[in-house]
């Protein structure tokens, strides 16, 4: 690593990421509640701002020399915790099997939504559980690094309040995002790579937008499989306690350029 990790780098990265998204939304005139309603809204409200913010995150990560620890996780979790990301995957599968929604979507809509959600998966995971987590680990023990990474994930969604989302919905989204952040944190620890977190994140967002009507259909498979999300949330919190009890200190640079754990 070229630069020793510090939490202030995470703060600066978060401010820059959110500023880029907010400025782009302000310029293009995004209404958050309609961001997924059409292909043009997806391009203007998801693809463009997140592509710019993700490019910023990638550039900062390169400048700091943190790609290795941002993507790869050496502090592994017990294998049984694979059940957490699997359970989180199932609601989207239920939506897909239910088939409510995409029949009315143009191929271009699904294509751009796929691009946009992949960018969100990359950008938000690098910000919170990738580069951001590396910075947090440079100044805090693992419990606080987990907590602040999840808090940051929740606060990223606070931007929606300024672009049309109601205060109540925003508060609920922040709380759910915090817990979902624990699911993705456990996913990083058990898989050993941030890439799985990125793909799971993109999958959740894609199926949420593309199959949104499934949630309103009482006969859809989504209604049953959506319950697994809440089980994933509960098990993720248990998983966090398990992995944090294993220990893990702050990161420090070593002479060979690789991070080491400082107790």
pLDDT tens digits along 147-190: 999 999 999 999 999 999 999 999 999 999 999 999 999 999 99
What is the percent of the chain with per-residue pLDDT over 90, rounded to a whole number?
73
Q: What confidence tens digit (pLDDT) does each residue in 128-138 have?
A: 999 999 999 99
Domain containing residue 62: 7-262
Q: What confidence tens digit (pLDDT) does each residue in 6-63 have?
A: 999 999 999 999 999 999 999 999 899 899 889 999 999 999 999 999 999 999 999 9
For residue 125, pLDDT over 90 is answered with yes
- H or E element in which residue 67 lies: helix 67-71
Q: How far apart are CA 127 and CA 140, in angstroms?
A: 17
In a domain, 1, yes or no: no
In a domain, 193, yes or no: yes
Mean pLDDT within 62-85: 96
In a domain, 68, yes or no: yes
In a domain, 94, yes or no: yes
Give the lowest-confidence range in 76-85, 102-111, 117-126. 102-111
Which three-class secondary structure state does DSSP give residue 65? coil
Q: Which two tokens stand for residue 252?
A: 């420090």
Tokens 């049309």: give the residue.
Answer: 164
User: CB–CB of 132/246 below 8 Å?
Assistant: no
Angle value at C-alpha 21, between 19 and 23, nearest 5 degrees = 65
In a domain, 119, yes or no: yes
In a domain, 2, yes or no: no
For residue 117, pLDDT over 70 is answered with yes
Q: pTM for the full model?
A: 0.88
Residue among 200, 196, 160 at smallest CA distance from 180? 200
Q: Which two tokens stand for residue 154?
A: 């929740």
In a domain, 81, yes or no: yes
Domain count, the chain: 1
In a domain, 97, yes or no: yes
Angle value at C-alpha 133, between 129 and 136, nearest 5 degrees = 155
Q: How far apart are CA 78 and CA 232, in angstroms?
A: 16
β strands within 112-195, DSSP E: none
- H or E element in which residue 261 lies: strand 259-262
């Amino acid at each position: 690593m070229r630069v020793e990790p510090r939490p202030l780098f995470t703060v600066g990265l978060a401010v820059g990421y959110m500023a880029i998204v907010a400025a782009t939304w302000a310029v293009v005139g995004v209404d958050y509640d309609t961001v997924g309603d059409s292909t043009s809204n997806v391009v203007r409200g998801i693809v463009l701002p997140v592509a710019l913010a993700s490019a910023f995150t990638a550039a900062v990560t390169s400048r700091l020399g943190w790609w290795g620890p941002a993507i790869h996780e050496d502090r592994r979790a017990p294998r049984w915790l694979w059940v957490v990301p699997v359970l989180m995957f199932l609601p989207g599968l239920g939506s897909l099997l239910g088939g409510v929604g995409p029949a009315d979507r143009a191929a271009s809509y699904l294509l751009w939504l796929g691009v946009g959600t992949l960018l969100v998966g990359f950008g938000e995971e690098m910000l919170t559980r990738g580069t951001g987590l590396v910075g947090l680990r440079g100044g805090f023990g693992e419990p606080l690094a987990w907590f602040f990474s999840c808090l940051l994930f929740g606060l990223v969604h606070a931007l929606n309040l300024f672009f049309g989302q109601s205060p109540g919905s925003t508060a609920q989204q922040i709380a759910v995002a915090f817990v979902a952040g624990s699911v993705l944190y456990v996913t990083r620890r058990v898989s050993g790579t941030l890439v799985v977190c990125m793909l799971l994140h993109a999958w959740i967002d894609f199926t949420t937008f593309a199959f949104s009507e499934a949630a309103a259909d009482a006969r859809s498979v989504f209604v049953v499989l959506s319950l697994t999300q809440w089980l994933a949330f509960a098990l993720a919190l248990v998983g966090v306690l398990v992995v944090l009890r294993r220990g893990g200190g702050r990161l420090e640079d070593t002479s060979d350029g690789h991070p080491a754990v400082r107790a």
